[in-house]
Amino acid sequence: MTALVLPPDAERPPAGLPRVTDRAFARLAEIAEATGEARPLRVAVEGGGCSGFQYDIRLDDPAPDDLVLERGGLRVLVDAVSLPFLENAVIDYAEELIGARFVIQNPNATSSCGCGTSFSL
C-alpha cells in the first residue's frame, strides 16, 4: 500500500495522480461522523457500463496494492489496475437536483454516459 498523505493546503498531489477535492474529503468526514467510523472511499474502474468502463465508488477497506490519498485521517483508495485510468482525474462530491454523489472528472475519458458513471477512452 502506497500512502500519500496530503497536507491541508495541498492543491494537487504529484503529477499524474488523481486529486481529491475539499468537498469530497468534507463529505467523507460527514459520513464518518454519522457512522462513527472513518472507512476509506474506494474509487475503481471496471469494465462494463453503457460506454465501456464504469466507476465503482464505495466505502471499502484498503488492499496491499492500493494508492491511499489521505488528508486529516480520511482516506481515498485507488487500486493499481484502476490508477492508469484515473490519471489526473478529480474526485469530487456534488449536490445536484437529481441527488448528491461522489463524481469523477476524468480528463482521459473521450465520452461518457448521461449519468456520469460510465465512460470510454
Domain CATH code at residue 40: 2.60.300.12
Cα–Cα distance for residue pair 53/110, rounded to 1 Å: 11
Residue 63 within a domain: yes
Structural domain containing residue 67: 2-6+17-120
Residue 30 within a domain: yes
- Interval 90-103 mean pLDDT: 88
The alpha carbon of 33 is separated from its chain's Cα centroid by a whole number of angstroms, namely 19
Q: Which residue type does 93 have?
A: Y
pTM above 0.85, yes or no: no
Residue pLDDT, tens place only, 20-54? 999 999 999 999 999 999 999 999 998 766 657 88
CA torsion through residues 9, 13, 15, 21, sign: negative
Residue 49 within a domain: yes
Residues 92, 28 contacting (CB under 8 angstroms): no
Average pLDDT, the chain: 82
**In the chain, how many domains are there?**
1
Start-end of H helices in 20-65: 22-35
